[in-house]
Structure 1
Amino acid sequence: MKEHRVWVEKYRPEKLSEIVGQNSVIDRLQKFVENQSLPHLLFAGPPGNGKTTAALCVAKELFGEKWRQNFLELNASDERGIDTVRTRVKDYARTRPVGKFSYKIIYLDESDALTSEAQQALRRTMEMYSDTCRFILACNYSSKIIEPIQSRCAVFRFKRLAEEDIGRVLKKIAREEEIKLKDDGIEAIIYVSEGDLRRAINILQASSALEEEISEDVVYQVSATASPGEVKDMINLALNNDFEEARGKLMELLVNQGLAGDDILQQMHREIFDLDIPDPVKVKLIDRLGELDFRLVEGANERIQLEAALAYLSRLGNRMSS
């Protein structure tokens, strides 16, 4: 009987060398582990690219079987106030490690969510207990971490994973789970995940629960994402002055497929770069989409704003044809 586990956890690498797509980062981390000398670390980069996995692998390779007793993981977005730093973090940092180890590790995920006051308290804690504890801070935006903390850490920047890296992992999981993953299904997962391996694996698992053979149609259905071809057709119809047909496509995406307006706008943004139109026109389109995105964030009606986008496309199409 197959294990009914979340595949992200089931296929999480156990060693640094197994992490894909971050070779320069992993090489530096392995040297720290080999020397048993670990400074405070700051992991920065987009979600789903191996920051948490790298922290867990460092702990496992440093502490072996006792890694759980010497590793504390906290999500700073849940416990982001100064009281958390003054109590839970400080209490753990001041205790001696279990076993014959020089220090233990505190991993603060999403540390860019910590308030400024909490970061100031954390800076002092990192100073006071550096003999018994090392901190690994993970964040999406390193600019949100105060300079005194950044200067105390070795900074590692995780990049978005390449398409071939994600494809290789998906094929490996498909083989081990004995599921049929078509080539267009892989391309669709890569398109939807946008370099986020965690999201890609979750989409693969959800798709496998829906159909035995995973194609692009299944992926777009599971991920609640419009097909790139549908979005591109809608844009081209508007540019070719067929506004009513383009509006019909938009209603299909909004009503029948139940997509959110901001998701459609983001996909329009992605598809514009592949359109066969002059660059100055692309510049105008990107500028207008940025304005519409701001309006949606401020609470404007998504249907009206998206129809306004199509109307603007039709006007541009008229100018190009005249």
Structure 2
Amino acid sequence: MATMDIDSSSPLAGNKGKGKQLMPGDKDNLPWVEKYRPEKLEDLVSHEDITSTIETFIDANRLPHLLFYGPPGTGKTSTILACARKLYGPNHKSMVLELNASDDRGIDVVREQIKNFASTRKIFSSGFKLIVLDEADSMTSAAQAALRRVIEKYTKNVRFCIICNYVSKIIPAIQSRCTRFRFAPLEMDQVEARLDHIIQEENVNITQDGKEALLRLSNGDMRRALNILQACHAAFDRIDDTAIYTCTGHPHPKDIQRIMDTMMNDDFTTAYSTVDKLKRENGLALQDIISELIFYFEMLEVPTHATVYLLAAVADIEYRLSCGATEKVQLGALIGTFKMATDIAARN
């Protein structure tokens, strides 16, 4: 039987009644990711099909358990927080338990915090409460198994929103209890429209090539785009493409083009010393160089089977780097791969 929750000072009652309230001026000190986080569903820049479906659920008072999955920075957390404000109004904290499963991912959290919150009902509220589990793909299998039973048992009191990047890491029993929504990477024009608004609000001095570099590096991740923009705004008076690449430590396209030219045209020793020098002088990681080289492969004027060989070999090098292989050895393997590809192309 559900118990009555009447203690507003309880830790499970959110931040109500304790701590300092955020004053209007304090918002200027927030990271831009939080300062410009959408507060309403209509403020979200994308996924209109998802938000309209959830609004229909809320209006009909038939919100199911939700499972949001997709790449980082695509609006999953912002969407559910906007839903909480629509459900409960501005003072929604006491009705929402928000946990980051990367930190609180053990079975004890499910048995104590989540179960205690789910088993109680507000004395003056007949509706359900909301539990948001962010980064749930970090939860242990035992914790997910325990959560499965909690979801089933306390449906009258609470709704769950489970957020993750990789849905394959959520056990099927939990997936089947939730309505799933996939958040795809944002389109470039959607990211650009939001960036233009923030650039104007913050008086950011950014050039057109700087904005293009920022959009390219964001790769559909709004959080990444805002973090890079704020860091560059703090470090540079004028933000151009060089400032963007310098601030992020990402290889500049001019450097990548130079690396491509030396690997394709120079002998092995010259190419190795040139690339190694570029890496040391600019502080570049081989992993980042490889991820940028992929975009140039389609422009190579070599036979198709040589390109296929190149892609397969570079994929192996990238895998070995992710497993902790030495960069010096893998740099030699990368240059050797290009030499083999040019030999294959020359024989045909």
Quickly name the TM-score band, shorter chain normalised.
over 0.9
Residue of structure 1 in register with 2:61 after alignment: 36
Query: 2:73 is matched with which residue: 48, 67, 71?
Result: 48
Residue of structure 2 in register with 1:102 after alignment: 127
Give yes or no for contact 1:265–1:306 (8 Å, CA) kept in 2.
Answer: no
Q: Specify the code of the residue in structure 1 equivalent to 2:163.
A: A
How many pairs were matched up?
322
Alignment of 1:206-245 (within 5 A): 206-245=231-270
Residue of structure 2 in register with 1:294 after alignment: 319
Residue of structure 1 in register with 2:17 after alignment: none
Offset at residue 301 of structure 1 (A): 1.1
Offset at residue 66 of structure 1 (A): 2.5
Change in 2 beyond 3 A, CA 1:285/1:104: same
Does the alignment pair 1:80 with 2:81? no
Task: In structure 2, list runs of 5 or more residues that go unmatched.
Answer: 1-24
Does the alignment pair 1:200 with 2:200? no
Q: Specify the code of the residue in structure 2 equivalent to 1:186.
A: K
Q: Specify the code of the residue in structure 2 equivalent to 1:321.
A: A
Separation (CA, whole Å) in 2 of partners of 1:173 and 1:255: 35
Residue of structure 2 in register with 1:133 after alignment: 158
Residue of structure 2 in register with 1:160 after alignment: 185
Does the alignment pair 1:255 with 2:257? no
Query: 2:213 is matched with which residue: 171, 181, 188?
Result: 188
Give yes or no for contact 2:69–2:167 (8 Å, CA) kept in 1.
Answer: yes
Give yes or no for contact 1:60–1:67 (8 Å, CA) kept in 2.
Answer: yes
Offset at residue 265 of structure 1 (A): 2.2
Offset at residue 240 of structure 1 (A): 2.3
Separation (CA, whole Å) in 1 of partners of 2:300 and 2:92: 52
Q: Specify the code of the residue in structure 1 equivalent to 2:98.
A: E
Does the alignment pair 1:175 with 2:210? no
Which structure has the bigger radius of gyration? 2
- What SS is found at the alignment partner of 1:69? helix
- What SS is found at the alignment partner of 1:106? strand
Q: Specify the code of the residue in structure 2 equivalent to 1:77.
A: S
TM-score, structure 2 length as denominator? 0.87
Residue of structure 2 in register with 1:12 after alignment: 37
Residue of structure 1 in register with 2:167 after alignment: 142
Q: Which has the higher mean CA deviation after the structures are superposed, 238-247 or 54-63?
A: 238-247
Residue of structure 1 in register with 2:176 after alignment: 151
Give yes or no for contact 1:241–1:317 (8 Å, CA) kept in 2.
Answer: no
Q: Specify the code of the residue in structure 2 equivalent to 1:10.
A: K
Task: In structure 1, list runs of 5 or more residues that go unmatched.
Answer: none
Change in 2 beyond 3 A, CA 1:39/1:98: farther
Does the alignment pair 1:120 with 2:145? yes
Q: Which has the higher mean CA deviation after the structures are superposed, 5-14 or 300-309?
A: 300-309
Deviations 1:50-74 (A, max 9, x none): 0000010000010002311111111
- What SS is found at the alignment partner of 2:28? coil
Q: What is the CA RMSD across the aligned residues, in angstroms?
A: 1.8
Does the alignment pair 1:71 with 2:96? yes
